[in-house]
Amino acid sequence: MVKVLVVDAGGRGNAIAHAFARSKHVKEVFVAPGNAGSEFFEKCRQAKLEGKYISSIRALDEIVRFAKLEEVDLVFVGPEEPLSLGLVDLLEEEGIPAVGPRKEATIIEASKCWTKDFLDRIGVPIPGYRNFDDPEDAREYVKEYYAEGRGNLVVKADGLAAGKGVYVCNSADEALQAIDDIMVKRKFGDAGNRIEIEERLYGIEVAFTAISDGKTVRAFGHAKDYKRAFDSDDIEGMREFYIGVTKKFISKSEAERLYKEGRLLNPNTGGMGAVSPHPAITPELEEKIMDMVVKPVIENFRKLEGKTFKGILYPVIMLVEKNGELIPKVLEINVRECDPGAQAKLPRLETDMYELSMAVVEGKLDEVDVKFSNDCCVGVCAVSGALKGREGFKPGYPADHYTSQPMEGLEEAMKEAILYANGIAKPDGYQTTGGRVITVVGRGKTVDEARERAYSAIQKIKFPGMRYRKTIGLDVPD
């Protein structure tokens, strides 16, 4: 029996730990830094080093020291930041097996500009794009693009920005504001030294994952993410958010006017929920994505760049219709498990997570079949919403929000659904610690059955300011 360490702080890490806990080979799963919800599952607990929790996903020395002291047999790294800082390199230098790419391979996520150039070079379908390192050049391009009526744009910070550096624009003004935020105001620091501007595609977005040992690559499931903070008809929720962000009161009628004009704020967040499998993905489409996107990336990364990619590759795909056929175009590529897609996807995994991980480490993925249940899972994320407190009115996630709010009903909700904690603590009873708080996952033979269980369970949870979308799992614009 073995010991596994999962490096992650939120719901994705707890879903990964839960997958390992189901393995017949695993005796104990540590999560670093984890949160109070890391102990919801048998075998799982938060990692402690000399009586203290690991301070952060960036505390590489602490993580390596813990892995050595506990003599863990395998480390699985969840987020992109410790990967890009070289955590896998450090672990391997100590002889500790780890799942995740080495630092040099993380460029695929760490630089959007580099990746678009690479994908363009190897013929992987992508949106039309341009890279810029001068804000004035970028502004001129945007003005010209919109003046010619060529459609809308997406503006992206080149580097890692914790999932917040992407601006999906509906106008020239929004695109110009994005350039200002990223390159002038330096909202994301050095991540905004360069930007990538691409045409905004319209189609079916897919969170698609694959797993590779550097030679063999297998499909590793998919999900549909729901990223907008509010349901499209939640005008009152958006009104409160607008007031909190702009510090300017607007009436309900003013909010309705702004909504009709497309100017009422509904931000693109890190994820309000997910459904897996993705309702639009057939076996034929999965094979097409593997053949047109995933396999060429892994093969050419090795052949042209001389770098091996081992771990989870997560391309964000937009399926665009062309001549009656759906073509997968790559919006961006991540080098880790998706979030919140993992919370909806991993409960369906039937392949032993430890056996699969060791096949990646040992280069034997060709000997393993990756299998998922035909069941559906729907994950609904409860977040810290609008709340008035000692520091005044705060609009809630993904903007300024209150934490340390007391939580109730978790035990009752667990009877009906799986709970993956994104940000909770338990100093004296459970309380919130972040913007995304807890993801409630319902499972069923159909999406409707899974939705019903998720929403029945989430209604049992309560904390001040709690907010969640009501349309996760439905076919709604997002």
Residue 347: CATH number of its domain: 3.30.470.20
CATH code of the domain covering residue 463: 3.90.600.10
Question: Cα(99)–Cα(140) distance, rounded to whole angstroms?
Answer: 43
Question: Cα(260)–Cα(240) distance, rounded to whole angstroms?
Answer: 16
Residues 332, 470: one domain? no
Identify whether 242 is part of a domain: no
Structure confidence at residue 161 as a pLDDT band (50, 70, 90): confident
Instruction: Report which secondary-structure segment, H or E, holds 6.
Output: strand 2-8
Residues 363, 395: one domain? no
Q: Which domain holds residue 140?
A: 134-193
Flag whether pLDDT at 11 surpasses 90.
yes
What pLDDT is recorded for position 235? Answer: 95
Residues 335, 429: one domain? no
Residues 359, 402: one domain? no
**Of 310, 341, 367, which one is at a domain's C-terminal end?**
367
Amino acid, res. 127: P
Identify whether 238 is part of a domain: no
**Of 154, 172, 193, which one is at a domain's C-terminal end?**
193
Residues 380, 363: one domain? no
What pLDDT is recorded for position 43? Answer: 97
Identify whether 231 is part of a domain: no
What pLDDT is recorded for position 170? Answer: 86
CATH code of the domain covering residue 9: 3.40.50.20
Identify whether 237 is part of a domain: no
Q: How many CA atoms lie within 13 A of 236 on its CB side?
A: 2
Structure confidence at residue 262 as a pLDDT band (50, 70, 90): confident
Residues 396, 309: one domain? no
CA of 267: how far to CAs of 55, 164, 183, 371, in Å? 29, 10, 20, 35
**Residue in the block written with tokens 């939120």:** 10
Q: What percent of the chain has pLDDT over 70?
A: 100
Residues 422, 454: one domain? yes
Structure confidence at residue 362 as a pLDDT band (50, 70, 90): very high
Flag whether pLDDT at 477 surpasses 80.
no
Identify whether 282 is part of a domain: yes
Structure confidence at residue 28 as a pLDDT band (50, 70, 90): very high
Q: What is the pLDDT of residues 33-45, one digit of tens each?
A: 999 999 999 999 9
Identify whether 110 is part of a domain: no
CA of residue 256 relative to chain centroid, distance: 31
Name the DSSP class of 395.
Answer: -
Identify whether 387 is part of a domain: yes
Residues 147, 91: one domain? no
Residues 420, 353: one domain? no
Question: Cα(367)–Cα(381) distance, rounded to whole angstroms?
Answer: 36
- For the segment 429-454, the average pLDDT, to the nearest whole number, is 97
**Residue in the block written with tokens 């503006």:** 155
Residues 178, 210: one domain? no
The answer to whether the beta carbons of residues 244 and 387 sit under 8 Å apart is: no
What is the domain count for the chain?
4
Closest Cα partner for 319 from 272, 281, 373, 269? 281
Q: How many CA atoms lie within 13 A of 348 on its CB side?
A: 30
Identify whether 415 is part of a domain: yes
**Of 50, 78, 100, which one is at a domain's C-terminal end?**
100
Residues 309, 394: one domain? no
Residues 326, 411: one domain? no
Question: Cα(175)–Cα(173) distance, rounded to whole angstroms?
Answer: 5
- For the segment 322-326, the average pLDDT, to the nearest whole number, is 89
Structure confidence at residue 164 as a pLDDT band (50, 70, 90): confident
Closest Cα partner for 224 from 182, 265, 180, 278? 278
- For the segment 299-313, the average pLDDT, to the nearest whole number, is 94
